[in-house]
Structure 1
Amino acid sequence: MKSWTSLAFAALALFVSVALTHAPAHAQSGAPDQTVTLTKGTPVYLQLTRALSSDVHDEGDQVYLAVTRPVKVDGYVVIPEGAPAVGRVTEVRRAEHEGKAGFIQFKVVSVTAEGNVNVFLGSGMESATGEDSETSTTIFGMGCCPFLLFARGDEASYPVGTEAEAFVAEDVSFPVQGLKRE
């Protein structure tokens, strides 16, 4: 009876040692590979890091922004405050004579998240219009001062620090290893 018990114990010890030798590293450490998912529709708050103006920029120009609040998933920071983001100018109209105001519009395209992951963003169009003095210029210009017809409207502009909001366009998974937890 003792020999059967000894033999069974030896077989069990051999089985366990073989199983541990061939087990994946994360199973040995007890720390499975974990990920967190940044879900579609999550808001990302940004601000312009360079000014935009309808008299300087053209359609297609790149817009530079930075994240103003960290984006967290389950307590892990996946997009840190200050992370760079880019957008594109989608429409520009220069200010014109007769007091017609300038116009500029842009949309946010993507942000660089932890691990150098490019996260695509969707946003409504952000737009600005300059001061329009078209009506008063036309009325007064025709009657008393024809030179007012050559007065230009104001250019549209966004100063540095202008805030914008965008939303994550698709789910993105991040391994938790290396992410800061807050």
Structure 2
Amino acid sequence: MGDQVASDERVPARHPATPAGTPLRDVLAEFATGVTVLTVAGERPHGMTANSVTSVSLDPPLVLCCVARTARMHDAIASTGRLGVSVLGRGQEQLARYFADKRRPEGAAQFDRVDWCPGPYTGAPLLSGALAWLECEVAETYEGGDHSIFLSRVLDATRRDRRLPGLVFFRSAFHRAVADQDALTRP
């Protein structure tokens, strides 16, 4: 009996509660992610909410972000080769929604309604009040289906107080990570 696994710990080939052919978006909604805003400077500054930012390597410091090739951010990153990443905190859901809204102004005007400062290495707008900021330079770009994967060298990394909770995206909704507990709560 010591070698047996409890039935709730087994991973069947097809879980009976999930029909085969479930859309990938629905399956990945079960994976909680942090929420960031990617930004670029240049002639047409741009920002975009993203949860597809991942640490790749500590030495050298590398991160990746995935951006749809049809998104304005795709061309902005490709043309500038540099970007900023603002990691949002629990009180910044409205900021995440703003940079996800396609109706917001284009270019520099989209930053008129938010508090930010230019990154010292990239000039990319770094959003005030975020939990952490990265400034990055694209090292490689890879095709990934309908997205491009931008592998970037971290030029600078800064964070605020570690006790502040982050904003999390889970099951297609924003949640607040609780800093002193292992739980998620709805805003």
TM-score of Structure 1 vs Structure 2, range by shorter chain: under 0.3
- Greater relative contact order (Cα < 8 A, sep 6+): 1
Bigger Rg over Cα:
1
TM-score (ref. length: structure 1): 0.23
TM-score (ref. length: structure 2): 0.22
